[in-house]
């Protein structure tokens, strides 16, 4: 019977993974989340650098943030229009 959490993972592997997670402290779990967030940001930044090779550091930053925020909030918070790729 497949796991309700991981359709491509054997149930015994899920059991072991969940047992490990249960033994971890909150700080350890938070450290993993922080590491995954950092990796996600780095991959997003890399993709943006490849797509916009002439972008300066500020534009790279804004394009990364625009992947997380709604366009209206980007305009209000940063004065930058992600749909046009330029300041408001």
Beta-bridge partners for 87: 80
For helices 57-66 and 71-78, what crossing angle results, to 10°? 140
Count CA atoms within 13 Å of residue 57 on its CB side: 0
Mean pLDDT, the chain, as a whole number?
A: 92
pTM: 0.74
pLDDT in tens, 40-81: 999 999 999 999 999 999 999 999 999 999 999 999 999 999
Question: For the residues 18-43, what does the mean pLDDT come to?
Answer: 96
Which pLDDT band, with edges at 50, 70 and 90, does 4 fall under?
low
């Amino acid at each position: 019977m497949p796991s309700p959490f991981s359709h491509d993972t054997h149930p015994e592997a899920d059991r072991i993974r969940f047992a490990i997670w249960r033994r971890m402290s909150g700080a350890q779990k938070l450290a993993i989340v922080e590491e995954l967030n950092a990796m996600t940001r780095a991959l997003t930044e890399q993709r943006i650098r490849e797509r916009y090779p002439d972008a300066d550091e500020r534009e790279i930053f804004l394009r990364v943030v625009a992947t997380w925020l709604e366009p209206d909030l980007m305009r209000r918070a940063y004065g930058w229009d992600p749909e046009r790729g330029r300041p408001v």
